[in-house]
Amino acid sequence: MLRSSRFFTSTNLLKSCNRSKHTTPVNTIIRFVPQQESWIVERMGRFHRILDPGLNVLVPFLDKIKYVQSLKEIAIDVPKQSAITSDNVTLSIDGVLFLRIIDPYKASYGVEDPEFAITQLAQTTMRSELGKMSLDKVFRERDSLNISIVDAINKASEAWGIICLRYEIRDIRLPTRVHEAMQMQVEAERRKRAAILESEGVREAEINVAEGKRKSRILASEAERQECINKASGEAAALIAKADARAKGLQTLSKSLEAKDGKNAAAYFVAEQYIAAFKHLAKTNNTIIMPSNASDVTSLVAQALTIYKSVSNNGAPYQDGELLNGKDLKESFASSDINDLPLKGKIN
């Protein structure tokens, strides 16, 4: 039973290595060669010629079709093999090799089994290239690894009349522990990215809130400033309006005083204001200084008119037609009856 299984395995391997080989046709004198095939003809055991596609005539008994080479692109499975990277990680890797025969003569007489030779060369080259790279670099630079393998194969297969078009890594398998470690690394990297994104989101939110508060305060301060400006402008306009009204009132009053009974009207106005002021004396607790004869309205009006006359000429005090200076004005006021009057004390 064991011998039969070994024989079956060897037979399958042999069929796998020679699966693309064609059965050599028999010399029937007239042969039709298919397109994209080359037939190698030997005459009396020596290479004679290569039959081109189409009609060909052979010499019976002397000519023999020795090899049949396909000029089409051939895909060969590279068996799975183990390779060790530069960081001592064992990989199980396989691939697919694409090649084409460009010289049927070299492919027939340069090597015994071209496909088997190319497969072995691809495996050894792949192990050599993987030994120069780390595990992370193998996954990142698969394209460069494939190109390196193709270049190495083409340098060796030039003498065989075969060109390697491309090589593709089909599957890479890692040891169980290495695979688990890589999964943990990926999960840690994803958690780190999630934490970074979350922190960036919180930061952006805080920046937006702070920016909103800053703009709100700026707008509030600008509104308050504009309010103060508007208020000040209103107060200034009110003061100007009051000053204009006061000026007009004074002009009207000055014109009235210049009239015939202007002095009598002024005396009546002063007396009226004096009497009206006594209404507010006892309403609040305050301390004032009053003349002892506060009930004598006539003398008070006379004193007020005397002071008015002294400053009526362009706002400057005169006495006997001459302008008084500060000292003379003080003496003039000191000589008036209002300073000679005794003063009352505190009135609550």
What's the mean pLDDT when you consider all of the chain?
76
The pLDDT tens digits of the residues spanning 70-90 come to 888 888 888 888 888 888 888
Written as six digits, the tokens of 204 are 């952006």
In this prediction the pTM is 0.47
Task: Tell me what the mean pLDDT of segment 51-78 comes to.
Answer: 88
Note the pLDDT of residue 209: 92
Which burial class, exposed, middle or buried, applies to 310 when counting CB atoms under 10 A from its CB (0-12, 13-18, 19+)? Answer: middle
Task: Tell me what the mean pLDDT of segment 174-179 comes to.
Answer: 81
Q: Which of 44, 162, 150 is nearest to 109 (CA)?
A: 162
**287: helix, strand or coil:** coil
CA dist 80 and 21 (Å) reads 23
Task: Tell me what the mean pLDDT of segment 164-177 comes to.
Answer: 85
pLDDT band at residue 184 using 50, 70 and 90 as cut-offs: confident
Chain centre to alpha carbon of residue 157: 53
Beta strands in the chain, from DSSP E residues, in sequence order:
30-33, 37-43, 46-51, 54-57, 63-70, 74-84, 90-101, 162-173, 318-319, 322-323
Instruction: Count CA within 13 A, CB hemisphere, residue 286.
Output: 8
Note the pLDDT of residue 210: 92
pLDDT band at residue 265 using 50, 70 and 90 as cut-offs: low
The pLDDT tens digits of the residues spanning 121-169 come to 888 888 888 888 888 888 787 888 888 888 888 888 888 888 888 888 8
CA dist 213 and 271 (Å) reads 62
- Say what angle helices 2-17 and 114-130 make with each other, to 10 degrees: 90
Which burial class, exposed, middle or buried, applies to 121 when counting CB atoms under 10 A from its CB (0-12, 13-18, 19+)? Answer: buried
Q: Per CATH, the architecture of 73-174 is what?
A: 2-Layer Sandwich (3.30)
CA dist 271 and 305 (Å) reads 11
Most distant pair of Cα atoms in the chain: their distance:
172
pLDDT over 50 (residue 216): yes
- Say what angle helices 114-130 and 142-157 make with each other, to 10 degrees: 140
Task: Tell me what the mean pLDDT of segment 269-297 comes to.
Answer: 63
Note the pLDDT of residue 295: 60
CA dist 123 and 82 (Å) reads 10
**37: helix, strand or coil:** strand
8-state DSSP, 64: E
Note the pLDDT of residue 17: 42
pLDDT band at residue 266 using 50, 70 and 90 as cut-offs: low
pLDDT band at residue 218 using 50, 70 and 90 as cut-offs: very high
pLDDT over 80 (residue 285): no
The pLDDT tens digits of the residues spanning 302-326 come to 666 676 666 554 444 444 444 444 4
pLDDT band at residue 242 using 50, 70 and 90 as cut-offs: confident
pLDDT over 80 (residue 333): no
Note the pLDDT of residue 315: 47
Q: How many residues does the chain have?
A: 348
CA dist 120 and 117 (Å) reads 5
pLDDT band at residue 251 using 50, 70 and 90 as cut-offs: confident
Which burial class, exposed, middle or buried, applies to 46 when counting CB atoms under 10 A from its CB (0-12, 13-18, 19+)? Answer: exposed
pLDDT band at residue 208 using 50, 70 and 90 as cut-offs: very high
Concatenated DSSP letters of 71-114:
-S-EEEEEEEEEEE-TTS-EEEEEEEEEEEES-HHHHHHS-S-H
Instruction: Tell me the percentage of the chain whose pLDDT exceeds 90.
Output: 5
Which burial class, exposed, middle or buried, applies to 97 when counting CB atoms under 10 A from its CB (0-12, 13-18, 19+)? Answer: buried
Task: Tell me what the mean pLDDT of segment 170-183 comes to.
Answer: 82
